[in-house]
């Protein structure tokens, strides 16, 4: 099934100059970039995006990380794009991430882990329209 998923290159990945390499990985894996933009999230935008994690002990630190610099937001599409993107990203903690995954290659810690990807169709249905309107998805 062709799916759409939200991908974010987080502030650590953007700052380190990994944007181009990460986009290249997605294209080589067969994803289509349906939309892309670079933004500097506000505190309330980051809090709203990570609302499901509001009770977690790392929430404030995560929001502060996600607002420390610009991020690159993308809508990716492809066959099983949601699970496929999670596979290419690797485990949340780079220590557990498989060889060849983005997090294994570029992430420094469980928090500063370079990329976000929707974890389910339900998440994608919330996350894509959180940042993109229908006319921006081509």
Supply the residues annotated as catalytic. 116
3-state secondary structure at position 35: strand
Strands 71-79 and 32-39: antiparallel
- First-to-final CA distance of the chain: 18
Q: Is the Cβ of residue 3 or residue 111 nearer to ligand IDP in the bound state?
A: 111
Smallest gap from Cβ 123 to Mg ion, in A, equals 7
Q: Which 101-120 positions form the footprint of Mg ion (CB under 5 A)?
A: 119
Q: Do the beta carbons of residue 107 and residue 97 sit within 8 Å?
A: yes
Report in angstroms how near the CB of residue 100 gets to ligand IDP at its nearest.
17
Q: Kindly provide the residue ranges of all beta strands, DSSP E only, lying in 29-86, ordered along the sequence.
A: 32-39, 71-79
CB of 113 to ligand IDP, least distance (A): 5
Contact 6, 118 (CB under 8 A): yes
Using CB distances below 5 to 8 A depending on partner kind, what does residue 62 bind out of Mg ion, ligand IDP, none?
ligand IDP
Q: Which residues bind ligand IDP (CB under 6 A)?
A: 53, 58, 62, 92, 110-111, 113, 116, 119
Contact residues for Mg ion, defined by CB under 5 A:
119
């Amino acid at each position: 099934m062709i799916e759409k998923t939200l991908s974010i290159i987080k502030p650590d990945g953007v700052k380190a100059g990994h944007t181009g390499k990460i986009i290249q990985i997605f294209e080589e894996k067969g994803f289509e970039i349906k939309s892309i933009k670079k933004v500097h999230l506000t505190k309330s935008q980051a809090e709203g995006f990570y609302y499901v994690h509001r009770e977690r002990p790392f929430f404030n630190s995560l929001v502060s990380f996600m607002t420390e610099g610009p991020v690159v937001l993308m809508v990716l599409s492809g066959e099983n794009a949601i699970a496929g993107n999670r596979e290419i990203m690797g485990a949340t903690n780079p220590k557990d991430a498989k060889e060849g995954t983005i997090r294994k290659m570029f992430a420094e810690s469980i928090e500063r882990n370079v990329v976000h990807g929707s974890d389910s169709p339900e998440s994608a249905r919330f996350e894509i329209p959180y940042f993109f309107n229908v006319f921006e998805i081509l």
